Structure formats: structure tokens, C-alpha cells
């Protein structure tokens, strides 16, 4: 299993096999309820935005399986 931050990081053969092949890809429509849009937008901004400290804070708030010391030492 591999993780890529964007499609541009993938080799052409990987992109063709995993993303461009209609037999192997799955397209899902995501619908967000009107009353959840603001909270969802804020969460997406924290995770995908330009502020790494917001992502780090999000992880710290939800990382009950790890001690704070382990997160700070990363």
C-alpha cells in the first residue's frame, strides 16, 4: 500500500493502472447536509489547508491512542 499527496507524485504506469482505468476505479458522489456544511468546510480546511499547525492540532485532539509526548517528538 502506498500513499500519495497528489496524483503528480505517482509514476505514469501506477496512475494508469489505479486511477485512470475505469474497470478499477470507483467514483462516489459526496453529499453534505446543509446543516453540516460549515463544520465540514472547517474540517476540510484544517486538514487540506495551508496551515500545518491546524493539521497537527486536529491529530492531537483525536489521537487518544498516543501519548502527547509521542506526538511532540515527531
* CA-based R_g, the chain, Å: 17
The predicted pLDDT at position 18 comes to 81
How do residues 20-46 score in pLDDT, each as one tens digit? Answer: 888 888 888 999 999 999 999 999 999
Q: Which residue would you say has higher pLDDT here, 20 or 5?
A: 20
Give the number of other CB atoms < 10 A from CB of residue 59: 14
The residues near 68 (Cβ < 8 Å, ≥ 6 apart) are 60
Q: What percent of the chain has pLDDT over 70?
A: 85
Amino acid at each position: 500500500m502506498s500513499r500519495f499527496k497528489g496524483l503528480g507524485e505517482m509514476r505514469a504506469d501506477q496512475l494508469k493502472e489505479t486511477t485512470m482505468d475505469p474497470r478499477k476505479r470507483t467514483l462516489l458522489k459526496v453529499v453534505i447536509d446543509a446543516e453540516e456544511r460549515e463544520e465540514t468546510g472547517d474540517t476540510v480546511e484544517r486538514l487540506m489547508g495551508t496551515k500545518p499547525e491546524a493539521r497537527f492540532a486536529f491529530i492531537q485532539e483525536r489521537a487518544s491512542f498516543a501519548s502527547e509526548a509521542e506526538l511532540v517528538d515527531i
